[in-house]
Amino acid sequence: MTEVVAVVSSDQWLASIAQDAESLDRSSTAERIADVLRRRITEGELPPGTRMSEASLGAALGVSRNTLREAFRLLAHEGLLVHQLHRGVFVPELSEAELRDLYQLRRTLECGVVRSLSAMDDERLQPLVADLDAARAAAGAGDWPGVGTANMRFHEHLVALAGNRRMDEIARRLLAELRLAFHVVASPRALHESYVARNRGLLELLRGGEFARAADDLDTYLHDSEAELLTAHRTRSTA
């Protein structure tokens, strides 16, 4: 019964997830299941390395294996699950190389979007302002995962300034994958605290229409963030 690996058949988790399954009622069953699992994964409740068993999870959610496999497939293509042939699906553990890849993609995408902006009005920046306020509120309450969530939203909305759905989708996946790495570091405070101020500076540059400088700032910003995360990742690996 007691196992070294965090297997999904923990009773309390299955019970709580069954509640989620009942609450939603729109779109297809597979997508609703995927929504439930996505939230559990990105919020760190299912840590990297967790194995998702078709049988026990399907029973807990009250859906058949076929439907559950549909949901698995959706999440696997978002990078939130990895699929190994004849072995099953797992919550992925990101390597250092993958972290570097994710950050390189972030820089290319986010800086590219910011640099190519031509005009800006306060209304379009409104979502970014809201995210910044949310981050500040969470920081004041000592809710560091909450700060991380708000920070991710800020960058999602930053990409959204391009008005390009495919870019939005890529950014959404990218940042969701990055959160997997956040959950394995020891101190989320050190990871997120300093970036609230930097986001504010970025927002001011955007409001002033200084897009080239904003892009340059963002580039160093992301390089710093990458270095910090890699350091945290290494100290955790040695521990």
Partner DNA sequence: GCATATTTGTCCGTATGTATA
Partner DNA sequence: CTATACATACGGACAAATATG
The beta-carbon contacts of 80-83 under 8 Å, at least 24 apart in sequence, are: 80/37, 80/38, 80/41, 80/42, 80/176, 80/177, 80/180, 81/37, 81/41, 81/52
- Residue ranges of E strands in 22-96: 51-52, 82-84, 88-90
Q: Does the footprint of DNA cover residue 16 (CB under 7 A)?
A: no
Instruction: Count the neighbouring beta carbons within 10 Å of the beta carbon of residue 59.
Output: 16
Site track for DNA across 81-110, x = CB under 7 A: --x-xxxxx---------------------
* Residues in a beta bridge with 7: 51
Among 10, 16, 95, 116, binds a second copy (CB under 8 A): 116
> Which residue, 46 or 174, is less far from a second copy as judged by CB?
174
Q: Does the footprint of DNA cover residue 20 (CB under 7 A)?
A: no
Q: Does the footprint of a second copy cover residue 95 (CB under 8 A)?
A: no
> Which residue, 70 or 210, is less far from DNA as judged by CB?
70
DSSP H or E segment with residue 122: helix 122-140
Q: Which stretch binds a second copy (CB under 8 A): 6-14, 52-60, 103-111, 192-200?
A: 103-111
> In angstroms, what is the minimal distance from the CB of 62 to DNA?
7
Q: Work out what residue 20 binds among DNA, a second copy, none; the CB cut-off runs from 5 to 8 Å by kind.
A: none
Residues 32-71 that bind DNA (CB under 7 A): 51-55, 62-67, 69-70
User: Given strand 82-84, what is the order of strands in its sheet?
Assistant: 51-52, 88-90, 82-84
